[in-house]
Chain A
Amino acid sequence: MKRLALIALMAIAVLSMAYANGDTEAAADSGPVTIEYWTTQTQSDRLATIGVLVDTFQVMNPDITVKVIAVDENQMATQMNTSASAGTLPALLEAATPNTVAFGTAGLLNEAAATDLINDIGADEFYDGVLKLNQTGSGGNYYSVPFHGWVQGIWYRADWFEKAGLNPPKKWDDIIKAAEYFYDPGNNQYGILVGTMAEAYAEQCFTQFAMSNGAGLFDRDGKLIFNSPEMKEALEYYAELAQYNPPGPQTWRARDYYIQNKMAMFFYSTYIMDDLALAENAAGSLTSENFAELAGTSFDPDLVKNTRMAPIITNTQDAGYGTIVSLAFPDTGNAAETAAAQKFVRYLFSPNAYITFLHMAPGGMNPVIKDIAVNPRFQQDPKGLFENYGTDKMAEIINGLDSIETFGIVDGKRIDAASVIYSKQIIPQMIYKITQEGMSVDKAMDWAEAEMRKLM
Chain B
Amino acid sequence: MKKTRSLEQKEAMLGWWLVLPATIIILSLILYPIITNIISSFFKVSLMDRDTFVGLENYRNIVSDPEFWRSVMITLVYVVGTTLGTTLVGLGVAIVMNKTFPLRGLVRSLILLPYVAPVFSVVYAWKFIFDPVNGIFMDVMVERLGLFEQRFNLIGNPETALWVAIVFSIWKNFPFTYLMILARLQAIDKSMYEAADVDGAGRWQQFRFITMPELYFVLGSIVLLRVIWNFNKFEDIFLLTDNLKVLSIYTYFKAFVGVVDLGQGSALVILQFALLIGFILFYVKKVLKW
Chain A residues in contact with chain B, CB under 8 A? 77-78, 81-82, 84-85, 106-108, 185-186, 188, 190, 197-198, 246-250, 254, 256-257, 260, 262, 287, 291, 293-296, 420, 423-425, 432, 436-437, 455
A257–B158 Cα gap in the complex (Å)? 22
Within 8 Å CB of A249, what residues of B?
Answer: 153, 156-157, 242-243
Within 8 Å CB of A107, what residues of B?
Answer: 48
Q: List 8 interface pairs A-B (beta carbons < 8 Å), by A numbering.
A: A78-B260, A81-B256, A198-B242, A248-B152, A249-B157, A294-B136, A425-B257, A436-B156
Within 8 Å CB of B256, what residues of A?
Answer: 78, 81-82
Q: Is the CB of A248 within 8 A of B156?
A: yes
A196–B136 Cα gap in the complex (Å)? 23
User: Is there a chain A Cβ closer than 8 Å to B81's Cβ?
Assistant: no
Q: Is the CB of A296 within 8 A of B134?
A: yes
> Quick one: which of B125-150 are within 8 Å of A by CB?
132-134, 136, 139, 143, 149-150
Q: Is the CB of B47 within 8 A of A85?
A: yes
List the A residue with the shortest CB-CB distance to B243.
Answer: A198
Within 8 Å CB of A81, what residues of B?
Answer: 47, 256, 259-260
With A81-B260, A198-B242, A420-B259 as known contacts, state yes or no: A186 contacts B132, CB within 8 Å: no
Q: Is the CB of B47 within 8 A of A247?
A: no
Contact for A78 among B48, B156, B257, CB less than 8 A: B257
Contact for B257 among A247, A260, A424, CB less than 8 A: A424
User: Is there a chain A Cβ closer than 8 Å to B262's Cβ?
Assistant: yes
With A78-B256, A257-B133, A437-B158 as known contacts, state yes or no: A294 contacts B139, CB within 8 Å: yes
Closest chain-B Cβ to A286's Cβ sits at a distance in Å of 10
Q: Is the CB of A248 within 8 A of B132?
A: yes
User: Is there a chain A Cβ closer than 8 Å to B258's Cβ?
Assistant: yes
List the A residue with the shortest CB-CB distance to B132.
Answer: A247
A105–B259 Cα gap in the complex (Å)? 12
User: Is there a chain A Cβ closer than 8 Å to B155's Cβ?
Assistant: yes
With A248-B156, A423-B259 as known contacts, state yes or no: A185 contacts B151, CB within 8 Å: yes
A126–B48 Cα gap in the complex (Å)? 32
| Given A256-B134, A424-B257, 11 additional A-B pairs, CB 8 A | A77-B258, A106-B47, A185-B151, A186-B149, A186-B150, A197-B243, A198-B242, A296-B134, A423-B258, A424-B259, A455-B259
Within 8 Å CB of B47, what residues of A?
Answer: 81, 84-85, 106
Q: Is the CB of A294 within 8 A of B134?
A: yes
Within 8 Å CB of A437, what residues of B?
Answer: 158
A424–B132 Cα gap in the complex (Å)? 29
Q: Is the CB of A436 within 8 A of B139?
A: no
> Nearest 4 A-B pairs (CB), nearest first?
A248-B153, A248-B156, A424-B258, A81-B260
A257–B258 Cα gap in the complex (Å)? 30
Within 8 Å CB of A256, what residues of B?
Answer: 134
**Highest count of chain B CB atoms <10 Å: which of A246, A247, A294:** A247
With A78-B257, A81-B47, A85-B262 as known contacts, state yes or no: A260 contacts B152, CB within 8 Å: no
Closest chain-B Cβ to A216's Cβ sits at a distance in Å of 20
B interface: dominant SS: loop
Closest chain-A Cβ to B249's Cβ sits at a distance in Å of 12
Contact for B152 among A85, A106, A247, A291, CB less than 8 A: A247
Q: Is the CB of A260 within 8 A of B157?
A: no
A262–B151 Cα gap in the complex (Å)? 13
Closest chain-B Cβ to A247's Cβ sits at a distance in Å of 4
List the B residue with the shortest CB-CB distance to A260.
Answer: B134
Closest chain-A Cβ to B267's Cβ sits at a distance in Å of 16
Closest chain-A Cβ to B61's Cβ sits at a distance in Å of 10
A455–B260 Cα gap in the complex (Å)? 11
Closest chain-A Cβ to B69's Cβ sits at a distance in Å of 16
A262–B257 Cα gap in the complex (Å)? 34
Within 8 Å CB of B259, what residues of A?
Answer: 81, 420, 423-424, 455
Closest chain-B Cβ to A439's Cβ sits at a distance in Å of 11
Within 8 Å CB of B150, what residues of A?
Answer: 185-186, 247
Q: Is the CB of B258 within 8 A of A287?
A: no
List the B residue with the shortest CB-CB distance to A257.
Answer: B133
Within 8 Å CB of A248, what residues of B?
Answer: 132, 152-157
Closest chain-A Cβ to B70's Cβ sits at a distance in Å of 11
Q: Is the CB of B153 within 8 A of A247?
A: yes
> Quick one: which of B105-136 are within 8 Å of A by CB?
132-134, 136
Can you list, as one digit per residue, whether each of B1-40 has a CB less than 8 Å from chain A (1) or not (0)? 0000000000000000000000000000000000000000
Can you list, as one digit per residue, whether each of B156-195 has a CB less than 8 Å from chain A (1) or not (0)? 1110000000000000000000000000000000000000
Closest chain-B Cβ to A77's Cβ sits at a distance in Å of 6
With A84-B47, A186-B150, A197-B242 as known contacts, state yes or no: A77 contacts B134, CB within 8 Å: no
Contact for A295 among B48, B139, B157, B242, CB less than 8 A: B139
Q: Is the CB of B133 within 8 A of A188?
A: yes
Q: Is the CB of B242 within 8 A of A85?
A: no
**Highest count of chain A CB atoms <10 Å: which of B139, B150, B243, B258:** B258
Within 8 Å CB of B152, what residues of A?
Answer: 247-248
A188–B257 Cα gap in the complex (Å)? 35
